[in-house]
Amino acid sequence: MKKFKTPLLMIVAASLGYAACHYDVISKVSLLWHTPKVSVVMSTYNRASTMGGAIESVLSQTEPDFEFIIINDGSSDNTQKILDEYAKKDKRIKLLNNETNKGLIYSLNRGLDAAKSKLIARMDDDDEMVPWRLERQLLAMQLHPSITLMGARIMGAEGEAVKTNKLPIIEDPNLTQINSYTSSALAHPTVIFRKDFLDKHKIRYRADNLYAEDCGLYADILNAGGKISTLQEHLLRYGVKKNLIKPKDYSYIQYDTYKKIQKEKLSRLFDVDDSLLGHSRETPIKCQIWEKMVDANKTKNIVNQKVLEETLKKYCPTDIANATWVKHKFWDDFFVFEGKNRIHRYANKDAATIIKDTPNTLVIKWDRYGTEEFKKQDKNKLIFTKEVK
C-alpha cells in the first residue's frame, strides 16, 4: 500500500488545487445539476428606480435554496444594467430578457416554463417579501400536499410582520373556492403553486385574461380538480413602491376581464344576470350570488354545500328589515338594529350603542373600541366618515 500513498496524495492535492482555482466554474456546474426547493418568478418593465426593494427582499430570505427567475420585459430604461449587477453578485438569479415588451402574461409563462423547481412562488416588482415568506410557505405546502396553490395575507408598506414557529394554519380550501366566485380570493404576488399539476393539465396564464390573469389561473386550477387556499400569516408588504405607471385603461380592462372570468365560473351553476358581476367587495351582492349558488349547487355539486350554506348564514342576515349594509374603511358588513339604541355587526357580533341618529348621520360607540360616525347614503347603506374623539 505504501507505494500508492505518494501518487494518491498527489492526485488529491492536484484535485484540491484545481477546485480552488476553478471555484466559479464548479459552482456554476453544480447549479446546473441542482434542483432548488422553489423557483421565484418575477417580471419587470421599466422599474429601474423601484425594483431594488423587491429583489433585495427575495435575496434576503431565511430559506436560501431557491432560484430567482427575473424576466426583463423589454425595458427601455436602466433595468437591464441593474439586473446584470444583481446577477453577478448572486448566482441564484436567472435572467430572461424579452427583446420587446410582451406583457406580464407572456413573461410569467416564460418564467414558469424555465423554472427548475416543482414549486413556483410569484413575486411582483413593487412589493416586498417578509424575510421568512418562502420558509413558511414551503413548510405549509409540505404539510398540505393536497393543496395546489396557496396564497398568504398581505399588509401595507409600513406593516410589521411577526414570525411564528407554530405549525402553519391555512384557510379551509372549500371556503377559498367559494370566495373565488365573488372576488379574486388570493393576492397574486403571494401565491406558491405546484408546477407538475399545471404541466399535467396544460395550464398556463391565459392571454385572454388581460390584467386579471391570476383569477383565470385560479379558475383553471379549480376546474382541473385542484385546490387553493391561503396561509393565515402576513408574508408580503403590498404596493411598497407607489405611483407606478399603469397602462392606459388598465382598470377598465381589468374590471371587464374579471367580470368575464366570474361569469364563466358562475354560469356552471346558474344563468347569471350581468348586474351581479364585478361587485366583488359589496356584501349585498355577494349574498345574492351565494343564495343562487346554494340552490343550484344542490344538484350541480361543484362546491362544498355545507360550507356554502354556512358562509351564507354567517355573512347574510335573514331578517333584512332590521339590517343595514355598512361600508367601513376596513370592512363591510351589516348592522343589525336591536331596539332604539343598540346595534351589532352581523358577521362578527361586535356591538355598539347609538349616540346620535339623524336623517343624515349615525354615531355609535363600540363596546370594545371608540366612537365612529357614519353617513346615511340611503335607507339601506351606511358609509364610514370618521372617528369621533
Stronger pLDDT, 350 or 240, i.e. the higher one: 350
pLDDT band at 159 (very low <50, low <70, confident <90, very high): confident
Which triple of cell numbers denotes residue 17? 488545487
pLDDT at 340: 82
Q: Report pTM.
A: 0.84
| Pairwise pLDDT comparison (193 vs 319), residue with the higher score | 193
Q: Which tops the pLDDT comparison, 158 or 219?
A: 219
What does the block give as the cell for 294? Answer: 346554494
Nearest to 36 by CA among 91, 78, 109, 107: 91
Helix (H) or strand (E) holding 351: strand 351-357
Of 230, 229, 235, 239, residue with least CA distance to 163? 235
* Bridge-based pairing state of the strands 192-194 and 119-122: antiparallel
What is the DSSP track for 9-34? HHHHHHHHHHHHHTHHHHHHHHHHH-
Segment 161-185 mean pLDDT: 95
* pLDDT tens readout for residues 331-355: 889 999 888 899 999 988 899 999 9
Q: Are 72 and 83 in contact (CB under 8 A)?
A: yes
Q: Taking all residues of the chain, what is their mean pLDDT, rounded to a whole number?
A: 90
Q: Which amino acid is at 16?
A: L
Q: Report the C-alpha gap between 156 and 239 in whole angstroms.
A: 7
**Mean pLDDT, range 16-37, rounded to an integer:** 63
User: What was the pLDDT predicted at 4?
Assistant: 47
- Percentage of the chain modeled with pLDDT above 70: 89
At residue 243 the predicted structure's pLDDT band, cuts being 50, 70 and 90, is: low
Q: Provide the pLDDT confidence category of residue 91 given band limits of 50, 70 and 90.
A: very high
- DSSP state string for 241-275: S-SPPPPTTHHHHHHHHHHHHHHHHHTTTSPPPGG
pLDDT over threshold 70, residue 194: yes
Q: Provide CB contacts within 8 A for 232, sequence distance 6+.
A: 153, 168, 169, 170, 171
pLDDT at position 318 is 78
The reported pLDDT for the residue numbered 247 is: 75
Q: What is the pLDDT of residues 316-336, one digit of tens each?
A: 887 766 789 999 988 889 999
Can you give the length of the chain in residues? 389
Range with top average pLDDT, 247-251, 264-268, 341-345: 264-268
